[in-house]
C-alpha cells in the first residue's frame, strides 16, 4: 500500500500522477481525494493503471477515477484512449464482461408522501413484473430475427415494438443505438444466451431502486433534467446479461490465441489493433451487445411504468432523465497536445460526461449538459451529476462508489435477513429472491459515494446536481 502511495506525485488536491517507468508509454493519472488514497492503494488497481499504459497507441494518460478498484485487465474505473493511426488497440478487458452495463434514471411528479403508504405493494408489483437473478427469463420474447433487429437497433427497436416512446430516445446515450457494421460478429453462443433475457435485471450489483430526490444543489440544471426535491425517481442498473458476457469471453480467447506481436504485462489485457480485422469484428460485436443492453433497460423501463400505474394510478407517470453506459469503447474525437484525433476511448466502470453545448447531446439537453448517473451502494445515496468535459480525462467521470471489499469478504459480515431488517429500520424496503447473497452488496463493501462525487467535482470532471435517497430496492 505504501509503495503505491509514495510513487504518486500530487498535482493538486484531487489530481495525482503515476510517473511513466519501464515500458509505460504514458504516465498514469489518478483523480482522488487524500481520504480515498488508502482505499485505492489497498488493492492492485494502480498496478493495472501502470499495465494499461503499456498498450500500443495509448495517448495522454492511463486514467483512474476516484471509484477505481481492481478488475479484469483494466481496473474498474479505468479510462484509456488509443490512436488507431499509431497502432492503437482495442482490449475487451478495457470494456469488461458486462458490455454496456449502465444506469438509467426515471423521474416523476409523485412525492414521497404519495408513495410511502403504497411502497410495499409497489415493490411487490415491481418484483412481479421485472425478472431478476442468474439466467432469469426476460420480458420480451424474441426469435432469431427479432434478436437480430435488437442487435442492430438497440433501444430504438424496443420503442418500435411498443416498449416506450420516441421521447425516450433523445434521453439515451447515442440516441439509443450504436452502428453495427457486422452483426455476424456476435457468435451463435452469445445469441443463444441473450435471446431469452431481454428485459431482465440479472444479479450481482444490478438493482432497481425507488428513490427520493433528497437534495438539489443546482436548481436550473435539475429542472432541465426533470428533477425536483421531494419527488420520486427510479434508478435501473443493469447491462447486456449473458450475451455481453459471452461476446467478451469469445474475443478475449481469440485475441489471446493471436497476440498480434503485442507485448503485454498481463494476459488479461489481450488486445488487437483497432484497424485490424479482429479489432473491427470485436468492435461490431461489442456495439451489438451494447445495443442489447440499451434495449434491455428500455424494456425494463416499460415494466416499471406499468407497475407504477397499476399501484398508484394513471397519473403515476415516469419520464426518462437519461441512460448512460459505463462499460464501453467508442470512437470519439478529442484534442491531444494541440491535435484533433479520432481515438478509441475505453471506459470501464467510467461514465461519459459531456459538457454543455456538446454536439453529441440532444437539443433539449445541450444547454444544460449531460446527466451523469452515479449509484451508491445499497442503502446509501446516489447522485445525479452533470458533465464538465475534462479534455485530459477524455470527457469522463466516475460510475459509482467503487468496491473496497470483494463479494466473498462482504459475505463474512451480517447475514441477509439481518441486513434486510436493518435497512427496513431506516425506511428502505429491500426485495430480493436471493436473501442469502444480499450481503455481497452491503453498504460497507463500497467506498463513500459522497467522497467520490466530491473528488470528481474537485478534479473538474463533473459537478453535483442532485442527491437521491433510496426507499425501495429490488435485487436479484
C-alpha cell at 21: 517507468
Cβ neighbours of 384 (radius 10 Å): 30
Active site residue 399: yes
Contact 212, 469 (CB under 8 A): yes
Coil/strand/helix, residue 201: coil
Strand partners, 333: 342
Based on DSSP, count helices (H) and strands (E) in the chain, helices before strands.
16, 19
Strand partners, 273: 89
Ramachandran assignment for 429, one of left (phi > 0), alpha (psi -120 to 50 degrees), beta (any other):
beta
Side-chain half-sphere CA neighbours of 177 within 13 A: 17
C-alpha cell at 441: 452488496
Contact 448, 467 (CB under 8 A): no
Coil/strand/helix, residue 399: coil
Task: Provide the angle, in degrees to the nearest 10, between the axes of the packed helices 241-257 and 277-312.
Answer: 170
The span from the CA of 422 to the CA of 208, in Å, is 19
The span from the CA of 118 to the CA of 120, in Å, is 6
Q: Which of 346, 358, 399, 457 is catalytic?
A: 399
Coil/strand/helix, residue 264: coil
Q: What is the DSSP string of 60-93?
A: EEEEEEEEEE--SSSPEEEEEEE-GGGT-EE-GG
Give the residue numbers marked as catalytic: 399
Amino acid at each position: 500500500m505504501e509503495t503505491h502511495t509514495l510513487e504518486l506525485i500530487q498535482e493538486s488536491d484531487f489530481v495525482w500522477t503515476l510517473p511513466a517507468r519501464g515500458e509505460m508509454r504514458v504516465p498514469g493519472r489518478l483523480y482522488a481525494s487524500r481520504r480515498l488514497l488508502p482505499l485505492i492503494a489497498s488493492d492492485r488497481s494502480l498496478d493495472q493503471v501502470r499495465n494499461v499504459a503499456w498498450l500500443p497507441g495509448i495517448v495522454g494518460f492511463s486514467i483512474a477515477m476516484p471509484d477505481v478498484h481492481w478488475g479484469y485487465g483494466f481496473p474498474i474505473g479505468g479510462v484509456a484512449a488509443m490512436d488507431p493511426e499509431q497502432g492503437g488497440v482495442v482490449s475487451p478487458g478495457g470494456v469488461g464482461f458486462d458490455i454496456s452495463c449502465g444506469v438509467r434514471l426515471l423521474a416523476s411528479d409523485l412525492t414521497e408522501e404519495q408513495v410511502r403508504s403504497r411502497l410495499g405493494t409497489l415493490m411487490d408489483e415491481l418484483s412481479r413484473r421485472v425478472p431478476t437473478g442468474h439466467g432469469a427469463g426476460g420480458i420480451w420474447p424474441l426469435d432469431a430475427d427479432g434478436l437480430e433487429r435488437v442487435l442492430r437497433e438497440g433501444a430504438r427497436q424496443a420503442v418500435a415494438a411498443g416498449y416506450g416512446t420516441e421521447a425516450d430516445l433523445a434521453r439515451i446515450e447515442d440516441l439509443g443505438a450504436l452502428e453495427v457494421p457486422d452483426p455476424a460478429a456476435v457468435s451463435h453462443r452469445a445469441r443463444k444466451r441473450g435471446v431469452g433475457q431481454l428485459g431482465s435485471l440479472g444479479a450481482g450489483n444490478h438493482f432497481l431502486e425507488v428513490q427520493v430526490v433528497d437534495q438539489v444543489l443546482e436548481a436550473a440544471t435539475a429542472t432541465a433534467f426533470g428533477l425536483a426535491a421531494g419527488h420520486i425517481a427510479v434508478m435501473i442498473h443493469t447491462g447486456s446479461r449473458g450475451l455481453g458476457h459471452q461476446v467478451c469471453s469469445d474475443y478475449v480467447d481469440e485475441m489471446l490465441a493471436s497476440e498480434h506481436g503485442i507485448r503485454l504485462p498481463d494476459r488479461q489485457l489481450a488486445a488487437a489493433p483497432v484497424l485490424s480485422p479482429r479489432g473491427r469484428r470485436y468492435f461490431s460485436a461489442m456495439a451489438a451487445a451494447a445495443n442489447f443492453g440499451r434495449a434491455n433497460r428500455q424494456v425494463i423501463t416499460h415494466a416499471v411504468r406499468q407497475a407504477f400505474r397499476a399501484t398508484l394510478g394513471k397519473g403515476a407517470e415516469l419520464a426518462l432523465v437519461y441512460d448512460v453506459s459505463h462499460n464501453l469503447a467508442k470512437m470519439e474525437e478529442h484534442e491531444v497536445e494541440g491535435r484533433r484525433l479520432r481515438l478509441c476511448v475505453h471506459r470501464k466502470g467510467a461514465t461519459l460526461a459531456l459538457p454543455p453545448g456538446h454536439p453529441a447531446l440532444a437539443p433539449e439537453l445541450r444547454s444544460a449538459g449531460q446527466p451523469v448517473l452515479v449509484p451508491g451502494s445499497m442503502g446509501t445515496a446516489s447522485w445525479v451529476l452533470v458533465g464538465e468535459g475534462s479534455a485530459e480525462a477524455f470527457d469522463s467521470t466516475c460510475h459509482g462508489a467503487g468496491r473496497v471489499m470483494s463479494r466473498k469478504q462482504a459475505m463474512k459480515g451480517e447475514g441477509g435477513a439481518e441486513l434486510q431488517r436493518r435497512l427496513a429500520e431506516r425506511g428502505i424496503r429491500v426485495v430480493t429472491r436471493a436473501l442469502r447473497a444480499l450481503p455481497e452488496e452491503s453498504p460497507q463493501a463500497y467506498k463513500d459515494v459522497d467522497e467520490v462525487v466530491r473528488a470528481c467535482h474537485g478534479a473538474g470532471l463533473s459537478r453535483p446536481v442532485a442527491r437521491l435517497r433510496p426507499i425501495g430496492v429490488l435485487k436479484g
